[in-house]
Amino acid sequence: MAKTFEHIDDLLASWLCDQPVFFVATAPLSGDGLLNCSPKGNRQEFLVTGPRTVAFLDQTGSGVETIAHLKENGRIVVMFCAFAGPPRIVRLHGTGRTVLKDSPEFDSLVEQFAGASGEGVRSVIVVEVARISDSCGYGVPFMNFEAHRPTMDQWAKRKGLQGIRDYWAEKNRRSIDDLEGFEAL
């Protein structure tokens, strides 16, 4: 049933990139800290950049848990489920790092994404994958995909670049466990 893979081949890369949603989970080091699992809409915002490296666009959110946890300890798992077609779950465990919008590396990374639109992108998360595994996915229901919600892009356009930066300064400085998020410039 469950298998591990040495690397992400072209077939697996294509399957991962075709999924309309994926989930990202991180955790603080503290035993009483709160775990975080975030759903991510995949509007061509996930990319396999190498046999054991992936990246995804991190849209602005009301929290900053992924960024704070990666800054503290780097641990991350990215999970994909097949909601159509044959059942399958794939997990990518690894070490992540955050490339913020103001980083010199940001623009060259974003250019690699076909779906890199919108002012709402605050960072690119890059994951060095240590373990690639799949499992049956028999318990995952069939679900029909209609469309991605336009709400994030609409919100970001209304806010404008300065409004988004103000939002980051207010909402993304500290995690819910009071870990350092990032300082908006």
**Does some domain include residue 99?**
yes
Total-model pTM? 0.95
CA 123 – CA 110 distance, rounded (Å)? 9
The CATH number given to whatever domain includes residue 26 is 2.30.110.10
Domain with 103, as residue range(s), is: 3-171
**Does some domain include residue 177?**
no
**Does some domain include residue 93?**
yes
Q: For residue 8, what are the CA distances in angstroms to 4, 30, 53, 177?
A: 10, 32, 8, 34
The pLDDT tens digits for 154-185 are: 999 999 999 999 999 999 999 999 999 988 66
**Does some domain include residue 16?**
yes
What are the residues whose beta carbons fall under 8 Å from the beta carbon of 124, sequence distance 6 or more? 55, 56, 57, 58, 98, 99, 106, 109, 110
- The per-residue pLDDT of the chain, averaged, comes to 94
**Does some domain include residue 178?**
no
CB 97 within 8 A of CB 129: no
Spacing of C-alpha 169 from chain mean position: 21
* Tokens, residue 19: 């999924």
The pLDDT tens digits for 86-123 are: 999 999 999 999 999 889 999 999 999 986 666 789 99
Q: What is the pLDDT confidence band of residue 64, given thresholds at 50, 70 and 90?
A: very high
Number of domains making up the chain: 1
**Does some domain include residue 62?**
yes
Q: Comparing 25-29, 52-56, 110-114, 133-137, which segment has the lowest mean pLDDT? A: 110-114
Q: What is the pLDDT of residue 78?
A: 98
**Does some domain include residue 45?**
yes
